[in-house]
Amino acid sequence: MSIVVKKGILVDESVWLALCLDLNERGEEAYQFLTAATGKVNLYVTATCLQDVWNDLCHVLRHVVTVEGGVVDDRIEALIASIAWDSVAFVRDAATVITAGPVEAERAEMLKDLQADYREALLVATAEACRASCIVTFEDSLRDCLPVKCLKPLDAVRAFGL
């Protein structure tokens, strides 16, 4: 009896935010990747990524309201929170949430010569721990210098034959 194990891909915050905010071509690329990958590979997201998605969405939406001449009152704040909660729920439903612990924190410190940014080093250490085949990201700083393969969303679609 043979067991088929799906490949695992850790999806970075930049991809989830592009999808949630529909950032032009990045939003479209994120959508194409997630549509192609869902059900064919195991998608992972870090718990800290969910927190970052929440915070960044709230920040961007507040900014949009004020730039458009609006006021972030209690009603708008409640709407922004509702959108952020719905987005986090979407990400959580689309991917398996994984956490980083002391082992990943220690590994991240060992990566400091390859990646000066602790958050990104921790992401790589977490990808290694869950045995992800790669990290899908729009962040150039991640794609250029780490021991885990990092790909843009459409490059991952091609690389994995999705």
20, 87 contact by CB (below 8 A)? yes
Per-residue pLDDT of 13-72, as tens digits, reads: 999 999 988 768 899 999 999 999 998 899 999 999 999 999 999 999 999 999 999 999
Q: What is the total count of domains within the chain?
A: 1
Kindly indicate the confidence band of residue 142, based on its pLDDT and cuts at 50, 70 and 90.
Answer: confident
| pTM score, whole prediction | 0.85
Tell me whether residue 101 is in a domain.
yes
3 located within any domain: no
Does residue 2 belong to any structural domain of this protein? no
**73 is a domain residue:** yes
What residue numbers bound the domain in which 118 lies?
8-159
- Looking at the domain assignment, is residue 1 inside a domain? no
Look at residue 15 and tell me if it is in a domain.
yes
Show the beta-strand stretches assigned E in 13-149: 42-46, 96-98, 134-136
Residue 157 pLDDT > 80: yes
Instruction: Give the C-alpha separation, 128 to 106, whole Å.
Output: 13
**Residue 2: is its pLDDT beyond 70?**
no
Position 61 scores a pLDDT of 93
Q: State residue 115's pLDDT score.
A: 79
Confidence of residue 146 (pLDDT cuts 50, 70, 90): low
Please name which of 13, 151, 150 lies closest in space to residue 95, comparing C-alpha atoms.
Answer: 13
CATH of the domain at 55: 3.40.50.1010
